Amino acid sequence: MGAAEFYEIKLVGNLDPNWSEWFDKMYLTNEENNITVLRGQVKDQAALHSIFVKIHDLNLTILSVIRLEQNKAEE
């Protein structure tokens, strides 16, 4: 099992920041143009898959998934 990675996932739609807990405590922000950004540490690929399943369960559209360098994740 590898080290945890940092990810940024952009979704169509605005989610309330209270959803952060459900998305494994990823930091959640809403941007202009009806876009939500999830950003945070994901412990492994199984955890990343779990986040994708939750996105699917909410019928949200994924715009992008980016693996971040740690220093970019902390900005």
Confidence class for position 69, pLDDT limits 50, 70, 90: confident
27, 39 contact by CB (below 8 A) = yes
Asked whether residue 72 carries a pLDDT value surpassing 60, the answer given is no
Among the CATH numbers 1.20.81, 3.10.50, 3.30.70, 1.20.950, which is that of 5-68?
Answer: 3.30.70
Confidence class for position 73, pLDDT limits 50, 70, 90: low
Q: What are phi and psi of 48, to 5 degrees?
A: -65, -45
* Torsion sign, CA atoms 47, 19, 58, 12: negative
pTM for the predicted model, two decimal places: 0.86
